[in-house]
Structure 1
């Protein structure tokens, strides 16, 4: 697909340094920045530089990518002095509940302090949010996210 095919994608613009969004971490494959409408004290997004629409478009060969996204999410939490990794939420919104059609991993902490509205969006009872470990499990077992 042409380089400008995703010119209207806000996260592609961030990845390509076409916005004033502060990049907190990056490498050849991923970029991490703060969520503009945080659902927790710490709320970061990890996005691949390559445009992928959402978690439903992932396939088995994307397992290493998702694992690296999870690693970067944990790294930004550690850099921001989050110590209790039992009190975090990491995952993806399921379409059609994705606000931006570019794969992005939500990394939130502390989960126990999230307000009710955030709990509905990112909490364990949310039907819109799938934890990263469940995505990885489904990709490894079925080759896709159900």
Structure 2
């Protein structure tokens, strides 16, 4: 990860990653932090964020593929830790700008997707105009070098 993306003291998620703002950390490593979404869209709704400040999924470049893959893996791990075994009944992805409420890259991890209500489906479901799956982001980065 580029060292130019240092934490931003005005960013809510940067404050969580640096422990300036208290929240329950579910899983963490040297590069990522996972915590519960404050407005859950599913029974299990987690956010995986990099410790370094990155704007949103549209700022990602080919060089960020390993980071996005790590985010996806942490999302899978937190689901497994919460006894979610059906990984086909999961939504993992990012909000597309301008529909991102916090301007810090964050992966939404939601399960079970089959139990999401209509409001949640409009925000995170397959027909949402402003939600892109992590697999689609990775595909775009690998084939086009950026997210469109």
Greater Cα shift, 17-26 or 40-49: 17-26
Which residue, 95, 107, 110 being the options, matches 2:109?
Answer: 107
Q: Contact 2:5/2:52 (CA < 8 Å) preserved in 1? A: no
With the length of structure 2 as denominator, give the TM-score of the two structures.
0.95
Which residue of 2 is the match for residue 22 of structure 1? 24
Runs of 5+ unmatched residues, structure 2: none
Q: Contact 2:94/2:134 (CA < 8 Å) preserved in 1? A: yes
| Cα root mean square deviation, aligned | 1.2
Which residue of 2 is the match for residue 10 of structure 1? 12
Q: Which runs of 4+ in 1 moved over 6 A?
A: none
Which residue of 2 is the match for residue 31 of structure 1? 33
What is the rounded CA distance, in whole Å, between the counterparts of 2:20 and 2:41 in structure 1?
25
Runs of 5+ unmatched residues, structure 1: none
With the length of structure 1 as denominator, give the TM-score of the two structures.
0.97
Q: Return the offset for 1:20.
A: 1.6
Which residue of 1 is the match for residue 100 of structure 2? 98
Q: Return the offset for 1:2.
A: 8.9
Where 2:100 maps in the other structure, the secondary structure is coil
Please give the per-residue CA displacement for 1:79-123, whole angstroms capped at 9, x wherever unaligned: 000011110000000000000000000000000000100000000
